[in-house]
Amino acid sequence: MEIFSKSILLIIGAIFSLGLANFGILSIQEKEKRAARISFGGATFGAALFFLAASQPTSTRVTLLSILGILGIIFIILFFLPIGKIKLENDIPRSRFNEREIMFARANLKSGTPNYESYYKLHPEHKGIDDRTREKAGLLSPQAKFFDPLLFTAPNASFALTGALREAVDGAVAPEKQLFAPEEISPYLKELARYYGALDVGITDLEPYHIYSHTGRGAGVYGAPIELDHQYAIALTVEMDHEMMGDAPHAPVVMESAKQYVESARAAIQVANVIRSLGYAARAHIDGNYQVIAPLVVRDAGLGEFGRMSLLMTPNEGPRVRVGVVTTDMPLVADPRTPDLATIGFCNICKKCADNCPSKSIPFDGREENDGALRWRIDPEGCFAYWCVIGTDCGRCMTVCPFSHPDNAAHNLVRWGIARSGFFRRLALWLDDLFYGREPAHRSAPAWTRGFSSTKKGDKSSNSSFIIK
């Protein structure tokens, strides 16, 4: 018993310490300084503690092993208890949404134009706040708080390319239809989308509530009713780089955001072109030229769930994605969608995005019904107004989200536990706050972007309350 108890304590100590040390190395690679310090400190303390325990008398070692065993049993019991169980409630909107009402469409309106006059005649409640937002510097403006004369050229280049691609979303359909079994062509198109650069791909039936009711942006006629008679939608995601997003809300985040809008557009346009060449109608839906509510389509294709920040939360990248959609009349097989109640349950208790939102645009309260669908709703006016002050699309909520950690074995183990246990969600949140902080520090952007950054050292505006109305 003496040798056995000593060996078991040393083995447990070795596993504990080596595990934390490995996580410390991973944290250094991820530029998470606080997590690295805590990991190496915990590894050192754990090694000393278990070595000391192994040197105690046999009766003390047995007692310590008994305590560890009891704690292990308690953990297993708590893991499987239905703690914080989330009730499945309706998340399907009752009606179609008018694209003219989104902030990006409203921001495009020019004072004195017919579109400006007609919109604010119908929605006078939006005019005051929209006009005040127009008075601010604007996205990528030289007058913006975080303007960088070199780095801002990169997102401008990406947005210019996305703009040039907006006319390529649709085209002529080959006169002869090639016949394929839906269960065979569907997986092929998914793999093709991945080949073109997509991270995850899914298929859903195209529902009326997916489709905007009227055109607010893009190549169509402003205010025209949207008629889209396609039956299916292919949804795809592309990943935004973890390192680039770490410097949010400064220039690298809008560089990465704009780049991935291009990548999602590129993949979607190519897939749509392939489908049309096979004799079926197909339209890509890309940044600035949507006819569908892309995140809603992507959710229903089984690729994620809406979280507290009102963005799509994917299983392995969290909100750190951009999305694209292809709608078509080609017969396909839709993927089943299972609502991700674990993600909703975690967002219920986390609130880290709300705590860190510079404009305080993310709610702390629970989900509310909006057009029949239960979900969190941010303050889009406050969020967009902040963008127009700093000149970037912020991204701070994405960066601090515990789901945004890189897709690797360590973080995926935590995701696995979150998906299966209400107790573990609470433990995971506590650990995330411990290792990364309730207000996580900014991670440095890649070295090639830092030498030209105009951001002042010590600028803490992204963590401070920055309420704009």
Residues 164-171: what's their mean pLDDT?
95
Least Cα distance to 125 among 145, 143, 148, 101 occurs for: 101
Are 55 and 111 in a shared domain? Answer: no
Structure tokens at 323: 């999305």
Predicted confidence band at 1 (pLDDT cuts at 50, 70, 90)? low
Residues 282, 416 share a domain: yes
Is residue 8 located within the same domain as residue 120? no
Q: How far apart are CA 67 and CA 5, in angstroms?
A: 13
Is 86 part of a structural domain of the chain?
Answer: no
Same domain, 145 and 294: yes
User: Do residues 357 and 261 both lie within one domain?
Assistant: yes
Q: By the 8 A CB rule, do 198 and 278 touch?
A: no
| DSSP 8-state code for residue 404 | G
Buried b or exposed e, range 430-468, using 16+ CB within 10 angstroms: eebeebbbeebebbebeeebeeebebeeeeebbbeebeb
pLDDT, one tens digit per residue, over 200-229 is: 999 999 999 999 999 999 888 999 999 999
CA distances for 86 relative to 89, 241, 300, 348, 373, angstroms: 9, 31, 19, 9, 16
pLDDT band per the 50, 70, 90 thresholds, residue 85: confident
Instruction: Check whether residue 351 and residue 238 sit in a common domain.
Output: yes
Based on the domain organization, do 8 and 126 belong to the same domain?
A: no
**88 within domain boundaries:** no
Answer yes or no: is 408 within a domain: yes
- C-alpha to C-alpha distance for 463 and 437, rounded to whole angstroms: 12
- Residue 87 in domain: no
Is the domain of 131 the same as that of 65? no
- What counts of helices (H) and strands (E) characterise the chain? 18, 8
Q: How far apart are alpha carbons 369 and 205 in whole angstroms?
A: 24
Helix (H, G, I), strand (E, B) or coil at 431: helix
Domain presence at residue 85: no
Domain identity same for 193 and 257: yes
Is 385 contained in some domain?
yes
Report, as an integer, the average pLDDT of 445-462: 60
pLDDT > 60? residue 80: yes
pTM (2 d.p.):
0.92
pLDDT in tens, 343-362: 999 999 999 999 999 999 99
pLDDT band at residue 91, thresholds of 50, 70 and 90?
A: very high
> Any bridge partners for residue 312, and if so which?
306
Terminal C-alpha separation, the chain: 70
- Indicate whether 238 and 184 sit together in one domain: yes
Is residue 74 located within the same domain as residue 110?
no
Q: Assess whether 65 and 126 both reside in one domain.
A: no
Residue 371 resides in a domain: yes
What would the pLDDT profile of 392-433 be if each residue is shown by its tens digit?
A: 999 999 999 999 999 999 999 999 999 999 999 999 999 999
- In-domain check, residue 451: yes
| Cβ-contact 252, 446 below 8 angstroms | yes
Alpha carbons 428 and 83: distance in angstroms, whole number: 14
What SS3 state is found at 183?
A: helix
Enumerate the β-bridge partners of residue 204. 233
> 146, 143, 290, 294: which is closest to 226 by C-alpha?
290
Q: How many separate domains does the chain show? A: 2
DSSP label at residue 86: P
Q: How far apart are CA 92 and CA 242, in angstroms?
A: 31
CA distance 186 to 457: 51
Domain that holds residue 8: 2-80
Q: Could you say which of 80, 111, 133 is where a domain stops?
A: 80
Domain boundary among 52, 80, 108: 80
Tokens of 46: 């754990």
Domain boundary among 50, 80, 110: 80
User: For 284-337, what is each residue's pLDDT tens digit?
Assistant: 999 999 999 999 999 999 999 999 999 999 999 999 999 999 999 999 999 999
